Structure 1
Amino acid sequence: MSFKKDVALLIKPYYWVNILMGLSFIVAKRAPMICNYLWTYLFNQQDQCELDGRETEILFFLLIVVMIRTRKTGSVTMINYLTSSFTYTKIANLGLWFYSDIRLGLIYGALFILVALTLPEPTYTGPENVVYFRVENGLEDELENDKRVNWLVAFYTVWNPACVNFAPVFAELSAEYNLPNLKFGKVDIGRFPAIGKKYHVSDSSFSRQLPTVILFRNGKEVARRPFSDSKGKLVKFFFTTDNVKAAFDMNNLYKECKDNPIKSTKAITGAEKKKN
Structure 2
Amino acid sequence: MDKKRSNPMEWLNQMVGEPYYFFHFLAFFSYFIVRSSASNVLSPQITQLLFYREIQAVLAFFMLIAYKMAREETWEAFIADTLFFGKIFLIALTLIMDYHLTLWYLVVFSVIYVLTQQPPYEELGSASKLTPLQLEALLTEGNTSRFWLVEFRASFSSSCRRASRCFPELSITYSNKNLSFGIVDLGLFPNAAEKFGISPGGSMGQLPTYILFENAIEVSRFPEFNFEATPTPPITKRLLARHFELDQHLLEYVNGK
Normalised to the residue count of structure 1, the TM-score between the two structures is 0.62
Corresponding residue number in structure 1 for 2:18: none
CA deviation vs aligned residue, 1:159-215 (integer Å, no higher than 9, x gap): 212111222111011111112331101111122122111111111154441111110
Q: Distance in 1 between matches of 2:212 and 2:246?
A: 10
Which residues in structure 2 correspond to 1:225-240 (within 5 Å)? 225-228=222-225, 234=230, 236-240=232-236
The structure that has the greater radius of gyration is 1
Q: Is the 8 A contact 1:153 1:214 kept in 2?
A: yes
Does 1:170 pair with 2:187?
no
Given candidates 160, 175, 180, the residue that maps to 1:183 is 180
Which residues in structure 2 correspond to 1:4-23 (within 5 Å)? 4-5=3-4, 12-13=11-12, 14=15, 18=24
Structure 1's 120 and 164: CA in aligned 2 closer, same or farther, altered over 3 A?
A: closer
CA deviation vs aligned residue, 1:13-34 (integer Å, no higher than 9, x gap): 4479958955975xx6xxxxx8
Q: Percent identity?
A: 23
Shift of 1:121: 5.1
Q: Distance in 1 between matches of 2:170 and 2:162?
A: 14
Q: Which runs of 5+ in 2 are unaligned?
A: 16-20
Structure 1's 105 and 228: CA in aligned 2 closer, same or farther, altered over 3 A?
A: closer
Normalised to the residue count of structure 2, the TM-score between the two structures is 0.66
Structure 1's 107 and 85: CA in aligned 2 closer, same or farther, altered over 3 A?
A: closer
Q: Is the 8 A contact 2:130 2:183 kept in 1?
A: yes
Shift of 1:256: 2.5
Q: Which runs of 5+ in 1 are unaligned?
A: 29-33, 262-276
Given candidates 114, 133, 144, the residue that maps to 2:140 is 144
Deviating more after overlay: 122-131 vs 145-154: 122-131
Structure 1's 247 and 102: CA in aligned 2 closer, same or farther, altered over 3 A?
A: same
Deviating more after overlay: 240-249 vs 204-213: 204-213
Query: 4+ residue runs of structure 1 moved beyond 3 angstroms?
Result: 4-25, 75-79, 87-99, 101-114, 119-127, 205-208, 231-235, 257-261
Q: Distance in 2 between matches of 1:90 and 1:157?
A: 26
Shift of 1:233: 5.2
Deviating more after overlay: 103-112 vs 144-153: 103-112
Q: Distance in 1 between matches of 2:109 and 2:223?
A: 39
Q: How many residues align?
A: 230
Shift of 1:251: 1.4
CA deviation vs aligned residue, 1:74-115 (integer Å, no higher than 9, x gap): x8448424314525754884797598276898799889989x
Structure 1's 253 and 202: CA in aligned 2 closer, same or farther, altered over 3 A?
A: same
Q: Is the 8 A contact 2:121 2:161 kept in 1?
A: no
